[in-house]
Structure 1
Amino acid sequence: MMSMNDIDEVFNKLGFGKMQYIILLACLIIQMWVSNEQLGFAVVIAGASCELDIANHRVVWLVSGNFGSQMISCYLWGEISDQYGRRKVLVLAGLTANFLSLLSACMPEFWSFWAFRTLAGFFISGNVVCIMTYLSEFTKVSLRPKVQNIMSYAIGLSLIYVPSLAGVLLPLKMKPIRGWRILLICNQIPGIIGLLLMVLLPESPKYYLSVGNQEKAMKVMEQVCRMNRGKGVTLESLGVDSLTQPRLRDSLMNTDRCHDTKTLMTKHLKFICIFFYIFFTLSGMGFSLPTWMLRIRVLANQVEEQKSVCNLIKDDLPQVLECELGYDKMIAPITHGFVVLGIFILTSILLIRLKRRVVIIIYILIAIAGCVSLNFTNHSDLILLGFFAIIDPPLCSLRLASSLLIDLVPTHLRGKAFALISMMGRAGVLVINLYVGLTLSKICYVTFNLLILLLIGKQFLLLKFTFYTKEISIVCGILVLILPSEYKVRSLIMQK
């Protein structure tokens, strides 16, 4: 009689071996490209500001177009990945986004550039939705937070890679191809390499099980077995003749396309709502503020007098930003990259002794401290450090929260779940980006004084977005405490 083997138990037998290392490498390279497109793009905008006449309101248009299209398309890619597989979405959406980004580097004026960046964002979200799900489904449960955090080292590497190249390319005075265009093309190189490597890798065996394809799931696991344990070892020799996993679909024949979403929003409503708020907050802070940090940093270097952020913006933001960005202007972004990489490495160390929830709460407290520091800091380096504290811990917290979501949600719902919370994350980027762009240079002091009277009552400098992120960070920390502990997560996974 054929016995059913839990796929996670089989992964425990096979260990974290050669196959997982290759998959981790491919995902890390793809993540580096995605970060080039989302975070490193701030450097491209700074380099293109003069040629394409990118003023502050146009920065809002660029960021809103890119992340708005991501928000719109997230659910579509989640649906497709649950129906047709994670790997197909990664490869097809990724290569299309690569092509559109390369075309955007050739656009002669702002609006055509904006259009292609918006289209590229539509397809980039396919990789945002699927990359962590794909990696997690080849990794045993106990290692997921650590492995996904290691993959996130790519964010720090991207934040070093882009400004390092920019320091060399942006000062070049070439016609007709400007340095920022070459930089945008170079940003696509990791994506091309990672996606070509992904073509050679198998589809997720857990996806195959979720759609009832036992034969293909066994074939993939045989491939993992040979790669990890040697050619002489087979699943049969390990006593594995069939596979299953907890919490499969109630009916593989269900044709209602909204059935899985209804299941997700009923059986997992409490957790999904908490993740909505967490991702809205942390994504908004982590992805929208780097663009403004770089612009404020460039502006601060043009002003000899030491001023607080709000005074600097009020007095000097209407001036034209510097067009010649040399390597000296890229020192701060490169430093930022090393800080992000260092925090992710620190996270790996902390996860040896601490639970995910504890690490997330610690990082949220650091972000709150960074928000408070911007109320009164007037030294340019301390302002930069304050921005680092606001941006980087939320980025790291996002990865840990993502791994927790993947553990909580069944395989056949993961694509949609990650798509929905990614939509909320992109909504957070849009809201905070629009908020900063519309208020930063016009009503900074009006906003500041109103917040002082209504919320704080203290007489010191405070940006509205700084206080806002501090308040939502506090609420976000409280919501993290509501999430289940590691023990409860494991119990939920085993429920059938």
Structure 2
Amino acid sequence: MPAMDLDTALTTIGYGCGQVIIFVVSFFIYMYSVCESMSVSYVVVLTSCEFATTKEEKTLMASSLLGGMVASGLFIGFLADTYGRKCIIRLALLGALGFSTLSALMPEVYSLSMMRIIVGVFLSGVASLQVGFLIEFHAPKWRPTVVALCGQSVSAALIFCPLMAMGILHDDFSVTISSDYDMRPWRFLMIVVQLPGWLALLGISLVPETPYYYISVNREDKALNAIQWVCRMNRKKWEDLDISGISPDDRTSISEEGGFLKRMWFDSMRLFQRPYVGTTIICLLLIFGLFFTSIGLGIWFPAIRNMDNSGSHRLCDLVRNNPVFKNPKWNVNGTSSAEPFRCNDVMTNLIDPIYYGLAYFGCYTLSAVLVRFLLRKYVIALHIGVAFVFGLALNGVSQATLVLISFTGMMVMPGVLIPLASSVLIDALPIHLRGKALCLVRSLARLGAVVGSTIVGLLIRVSCDLTLNFFNAYLVVSFILAIFLPK
């Protein structure tokens, strides 16, 4: 009986408890990465008085973790393709959780920002490799649906964070450590939102490495063991299946020639050569746009909505009156100037962030349904088109509910597409380039989040309308790119 390739073997075994376990582990991995990324949305507001932060310092805090993720993503993928998805995800979780705990103890804004950069270096592997780890336990026909469903971890994280904030920030307490250092509630919030990460670390330690990785390093015996684990978890008898072994694929083997940097450079450059260059560049520019709008603008959502949003006001009118975007004014002696500044470090609106998370839940559900009936690229284009309509509406609508719906929809509709657009790279590239492609493309694409976050932090108070329409303009570019994605 001839050996099978992995896609056929996974299809023969069928979907069952094994894939559900991998799904749950991947769910908590991605949920943690979102919790860690979004917690700074609350810290930016909650440290305004304690650190007397300017808008530039707020922007630094908001972008620091994303900057670290950009830096490490350039080589994390190479490590994952060399040492395995599970190994790198587990190490990345340990590093991110450890340094995140330390960052919650930092005494001032610059040390906090530096620690968040280090957290981002580790978190890049957690966020980027999760989709590859998930997909490589699933047959091709299930992948788009599973990726869309696992994206619900984003909505879970976006609901989890404000719920934890409601519980912890309810009373303005502090634990005095020394005369000039207090443990205020925001520090405990940063620690509590790590809970999904600890669950993910436990889960990733209990499941096997992906069979596709073992095939890429010519370990067919290990790949067979991983497939047999799936079979056992699915309550199938191995003897009843027509699988005698897993066939190797010469196209997937990893080169062992040259040093680390030489091999990393060679394999990375292959992504920008035929026949992969078209797919790589289209996916890169598209995912850049998704991060630019959904994360770059979305990371400021709790801060922008942290005020009285009732009444008939355009979004930009609300921004102009938002104290979060005003700078404290001090004279050279350190005393307040003639124009007094009242800092705002209280989260007065934690309901809108919950609506934001519920919107992600609805849109992920919609994308999971649509992807069963439409080509993946048309689902992506449809979501981006709707986001553009919402973005245009923000230029004119002033009714409170419509402003919330339009602002939320503009960010959520592209945000739910990040895992789905990333899955294009999985299906379009050979196994030994997948980890590199995912991390390299998503790392470079995260520059979009850094650029978007910086634009909002520095310019939205200067020219809100122009800032919002920057995002609308790139949504048009993203829509065109989506049409040219491979099937």
Q: 1:405 aligns to what?
A: 425
- Residue 195 of structure 1 and its aligned partner are, at CA, apart by 1.0
- Residue 291 of structure 1 and its aligned partner are, at CA, apart by 3.0
Deviations 1:377-396 (A, max 9, x none): 23443322222111101111
Give me the whole-angstrom Cα distance separating, in 2, the residues matched to 1:271 and 1:307.
43
* Counterparts in 2 of 1:187 and 1:247: CA distance versus 1, 3 Å: farther
Give me the whole-angstrom Cα distance separating, in 2, the residues matched to 1:315 and 1:97.
36
What is the aligned counterpart of 2:412 among 384, 387, 392?
392
Is residue 271 of structure 2 the alignment partner of residue 268 of structure 1? Answer: no
Letter in 1 for 2:154: I
Give me the whole-angstrom Cα distance separating, in 2, the residues matched to 1:158 and 1:146.
20
Letter in 1 for 2:243: V
- Bigger share in helix: 1
Letter in 2 for 1:226: R
- Residue 465 of structure 1 and its aligned partner are, at CA, apart by 2.5
Larger CA deviation: 218-227 vs 19-28 = 218-227
Give me the whole-angstrom Cα distance separating, in 2, the residues matched to 1:293 and 1:378.
17
Give me the whole-angstrom Cα distance separating, in 2, the residues matched to 1:311 and 1:219.
60
Secondary structure of the residue aligned to 1:80 is helix
What is the aligned counterpart of 1:322 among 344, 360, 381?
344
Letter in 1 for 2:10: F
What is the aligned counterpart of 1:417 among 437, 449, 459?
437
- Residue 294 of structure 1 and its aligned partner are, at CA, apart by 2.1
Please give the root-mean-square deviation of Cα atoms over the aligned residues, in Å: 2.0
* Counterparts in 2 of 1:250 and 1:166: CA distance versus 1, 3 Å: closer
Deviations 1:313-338 (A, max 9, x none): 44554364532325xx1010111111
- Extract unaligned runs of 5+ from structure 1: 445-461, 486-496
Give me the whole-angstrom Cα distance separating, in 2, the residues matched to 1:208 and 1:172.
51
Is residue 456 of structure 2 the alignment partner of residue 436 of structure 1? Answer: yes
Give me the whole-angstrom Cα distance separating, in 1, the residues matched to 2:3 and 2:305.
59
What is the aligned counterpart of 1:205 among 208, 211, 227?
211
Q: 1:127 aligns to what?
A: 126
Equivalent residues of 1:170, 1:178 under 8 A apart: no
Give me the whole-angstrom Cα distance separating, in 2, the residues matched to 1:169 and 1:16.
40
Give me the whole-angstrom Cα distance separating, in 2, the residues matched to 1:138 and 1:280.
27
Give me the whole-angstrom Cα distance separating, in 2, the residues matched to 1:331 and 1:253.
53
Q: 1:33 aligns to what?
A: 32
Letter in 2 for 1:263: R
Larger CA deviation: 214-223 vs 91-100 = 214-223
* Counterparts in 2 of 1:50 and 1:291: CA distance versus 1, 3 Å: farther
Give me the whole-angstrom Cα distance separating, in 2, the residues matched to 1:198 and 1:85.
12
Deviations 1:454-486 (A, max 9, x none): xxxxxxxx712222222211121111111122x
Deviations 1:260-294 (A, max 9, x none): 22322112001111111101111111112123222
After TM superposition, list the pairs within 5 Å mapping 1:54-453 onto structure 2: 54-176=53-175, 177-230=183-236, 233-234=237-238, 237-244=240-247, 248-249=251-252, 252-255=255-258, 256-257=262-263, 258-266=265-273, 267-301=275-309, 306-314=312-320, 317-318=325-326, 320=342, 322-326=344-348, 329-442=349-462, 444=463
Secondary structure of the residue aligned to 1:4 is coil
Give me the whole-angstrom Cα distance separating, in 1, the residues matched to 2:46 and 2:354.
15
TM-score, normalized by length of structure 2? 0.89
Deviations 1:240-260 (A, max 9, x none): 222136672367444450332
Equivalent residues of 1:212, 1:252 under 8 A apart: no
Give me the whole-angstrom Cα distance separating, in 2, the residues matched to 1:203 and 1:141.
18
Q: 1:448 aligns to what?
A: none
Q: 1:488 aligns to what?
A: none
Secondary structure of the residue aligned to 1:353 is coil
Give me the whole-angstrom Cα distance separating, in 2, the residues matched to 1:324 and 1:438.
21
Equivalent residues of 1:171, 1:324 under 8 A apart: no
Equivalent residues of 1:47, 1:170 under 8 A apart: no
Secondary structure of the residue aligned to 2:52 is coil
Equivalent residues of 1:153, 1:344 under 8 A apart: yes
* Counterparts in 2 of 1:274 and 1:195: CA distance versus 1, 3 Å: same
Give me the whole-angstrom Cα distance separating, in 2, the residues matched to 1:284 and 1:251.
33
Deviations 1:187-241 (A, max 9, x none): 01110011111101100110010011111111211222222243xx22x652322
Equivalent residues of 2:128, 2:438 under 8 A apart: yes
Equivalent residues of 1:203, 1:220 under 8 A apart: yes
Secondary structure of the residue aligned to 2:252 is coil
Larger CA deviation: 470-479 vs 408-417 = 470-479
Give me the whole-angstrom Cα distance separating, in 2, the residues matched to 1:382 and 1:245.
55
Letter in 2 for 1:352: R
Give me the whole-angstrom Cα distance separating, in 2, the residues matched to 1:250 and 1:154.
32
